[in-house]
């Protein structure tokens, strides 16, 4: 898995679920439910105290999953996530310190951008696969269409405000490789341990087509 690059990860499926795991006991059943629905790429955000342990459990116990880490905002996050078993990283933005940490750790990174200047800086640092974040606030489809002209070599993963209903419209854009979304894991289903519901949502997401 560690030999995958970011473009490989983006091509696995149309949707990367953005996971906020509060209860470590949910990590493995959640990963299994998503994989059962055909969603193999999982982004576990560093927004809770159990995130790194959740990554480790998923990587160890659900080998079919391609487990990544999201919300990378500090240089030390990279090595910790890699050591926990993450095979790619996602950040909401990009700084020289994060660039250096990504290179030192060897963790493939999908960095977040919001403006044309962000895209230029990321591309100059060697990144051609970028996360538009927060996508809706950054201009959504209109922004992505505008960015396609000056940056034809960049592939985007818009994340933030994407829904099952709007995802196909984003996926239809030629510069969008996949989308990120949190709708695959509704809180009510997580609290109830309704893994069947999550598998159903994953199956629907995996079958999304551009329109």
Total count of domains within the chain: 1
What are the tens digits of pLDDT across the range 109-149? 999 999 999 999 999 999 999 999 999 999 999 999 999 99
pLDDT of 21:
97
Which residue has tokens 């893994």?
195
Q: Which domain holds residue 29?
A: 6-206
The predicted model scores a pTM of 0.96
Token readout for 76 is 């030390």
Report which DSSP code applies to 163.
Answer: -
Measured in residues, the chain has a length of: 211
* Beta carbons within 10 angstroms of residue 211's beta carbon: 8
Task: Say if 90 falls within a structural domain.
Answer: yes
Given a cut of 70, whether residue 211 has pLDDT beyond it is no
Q: What is the mean pLDDT of residues 160-172?
A: 96
Task: Say if 151 falls within a structural domain.
Answer: yes
Q: Which active-site residues does the annotation give? A: 43, 131
Task: Say if 211 falls within a structural domain.
Answer: no
Task: Say if 117 falls within a structural domain.
Answer: yes
How far apart are alpha carbons 177 and 121 in whole angstroms?
20
Q: What is the mean pLDDT of residues 72-99?
A: 97
Task: Say if 1 falls within a structural domain.
Answer: no
* Beta carbons within 10 angstroms of residue 124's beta carbon: 9
Q: Under a CB-based contact definition with an 8 Å cutoff, are residues 73 and 91 in contact?
A: yes
Task: Say if 108 falls within a structural domain.
Answer: yes
CATH at residue 87? 3.20.20.70
């Amino acid at each position: 898995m560690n030999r995958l690059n970011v473009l490989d990860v983006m091509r696995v499926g149309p949707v990367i679920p953005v996971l906020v795991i509060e209860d470590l006991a949910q990590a493995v059943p959640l990963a299994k439910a998503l994989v059962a629905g055909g969603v193999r790429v999982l982004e576990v955000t560093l927004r809770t105290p159990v995130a790194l342990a959740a990554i480790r459990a998923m990587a160890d116990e659900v080998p079919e999953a391609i487990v990544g880490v999201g919300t990378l905002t500090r240089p030390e996050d990279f090595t910790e996530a890699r050591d926990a078993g993450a095979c790619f990283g996602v950040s909401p933005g990009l700084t020289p310190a994060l660039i250096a940490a990504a290179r030192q750790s060897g963790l493939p990174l999908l960095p977040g951008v919001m403006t044309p200047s962000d895209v230029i800086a990321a591309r100059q640092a060697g990144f051609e696969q970028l996360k538009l974040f927060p996508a809706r606030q950054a201009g959504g489809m209109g922004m992505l269409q505008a960015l396609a002209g000056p940056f034809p070599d960049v592939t985007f993963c818009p994340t933030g405000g994407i829904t099952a209903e709007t995802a196909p419209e984003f996926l239809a854009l030629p510069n969008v490789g996949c989308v990120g979304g949190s709708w695959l894991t509704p809180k009510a289903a997580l609290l109830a341990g309704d893994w069947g519901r999550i598998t159903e949502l994953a199956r629907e997401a995996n079958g999304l087509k551009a329109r």
